[in-house]
Structure 1
Amino acid sequence: MISNRSIPRVTVIPVLAYPDANEAAAWLCKAFAYSIRLRVGTHRVQLNVGEGAVIVRELRPHEIGGPVGLGHSITVRVDDADAHCTRARAHGARITQEPSTHPYGERQYVAEDLAGHSWTFSQSVADVLPEDWGGTSEQLN
């Protein structure tokens, strides 16, 4: 694969639409501790998310007034779910699920951003075999 400085080097890049891409980028950086990688005009912003990336773009005219974030969620791994949740709440994120530890070894919380997108933040707290909590190992790396 050719390297291109104009796009993040990660394999999967979620793209989320907001009424104002620059306002959304600023809020996501404050609330979730992301950083801006680059801007494309005034309508698109690439964000660094740990070793990954998210792109925010402005809503297109035909999308305005429609459902935002319906049926999707983005999961981001963090070092400390409780501290991350506290920061997100302080910057206005609506916490829809408080931090809790699950049998599969993750402590997670769910937040809704300023446009209604759902974000799950996940902290690994134990290394658990999927079979130990009811999952099935198909192909683990």
Structure 2
Amino acid sequence: MTDNLSDPTPVPQVWPTLRAHDARALIRFLVEAFGFEETVVYGEGERVEHAQLSWPEGGGIMLGSVKDADQDRWPLRPGTFGAYVVTDHPDELCARARAAGAEITDELTDTEYGSRGFGARDPEGNRWSFGTYRGEPRKA
């Protein structure tokens, strides 16, 4: 299945996931600092059972509040997540992230393989890398 009949690229079916000590605060940060879009959030009070944040340029992530180890079928430690996110606007995104208080861990740079990007850390300690490199084409 594709999201456009003229585009043979499959719609995203891999969803990176993470846990957070304060999932609602992390969601607010990811929306404000990086530009993710809040698609759905399930949970009551401060607890988030499931959230989906969409990336405007395609794909997205899923996250939820950390749970007690004995109650968690998917035990992930908050702050250990890392992701590379493709963007056509790394300079603007870096400025936005910095203005929102993101810790910039790698300043904007151009790589030998043709990407321009930067690295950042969110308040939970997760690492994010944003750049223009779209990966290599799939093999036929």
Q: Same fold (TM over 0.5)?
A: yes
Q: How does 1:42-57 map to 2 (within 5 A)?
A: 42=44, 43=48, 44-50=50-56, 51-57=58-64
Q: C-alpha displacement at 1:139, in angstroms?
A: 5.6
Structure 1 counterpart of 2:30, from 19, 28, 50? 28
CA distance in structure 1 between the partners assigned to 2:139 and 2:96 by the alignment: 33
Query: Paired residue for 1:60, among 50, 57, 67?
Result: 67
Q: Is the 8 A contact 2:19 2:77 kept in 1?
A: no
The code of the aligned residue for 1:49 comes to W
Tell me the secondary structure at the aligned position of residue 97 of structure 1. Answer: strand
Query: For residues 48 and 138 of structure 1, do their structure 2 counterparts lie closer, same or farther at Cα, with a shift above 3 Å needed?
Result: closer
1:84 to 93, 118, 139: 93
What is the TM-score with the length of structure 1 in the denominator? Answer: 0.74
2:110 is aligned to: 101
Distance (whole Å) between structure 2 residues aligned to residue 56 and residue 36 of structure 1: 11
Closer, same or farther: CA 77–139 of 1 in aligned 2, 3 Å: closer
Instruction: Tell me which moved more, 9-18 or 83-92.
Output: 9-18
Deviation at 1:41, TM superposition (A): 1.8
Q: Check if 1:122 corresponds to 2:135.
A: no
Q: Percent identity?
A: 29
1:138 & 1:123 partners in 2: Cα distance? 14
Q: Is the 8 A contact 1:24 1:56 kept in 2?
A: no
Runs of 4+, deviation exceeding 3 Å: 66-70, 137-141
Q: CA deviation at 1:67?
A: 5.7
Q: CA shift at 1:53, angstroms? A: 1.2
Q: Which moved more, 1:93-102 or 1:72-81?
A: 72-81
Q: Give the Cα–Cα distance (whole angstroms) in 2 for the partners of residues 32 and 138 of structure 1.
A: 26
Letter in 2 for 1:88: A
Output the aligned Cα RMSD. Answer: 2.7
- Deviation per CA, 1:13-67: give whole Å up to 9, x if none: 011111121111111000001111111224121101121011121011239xx96
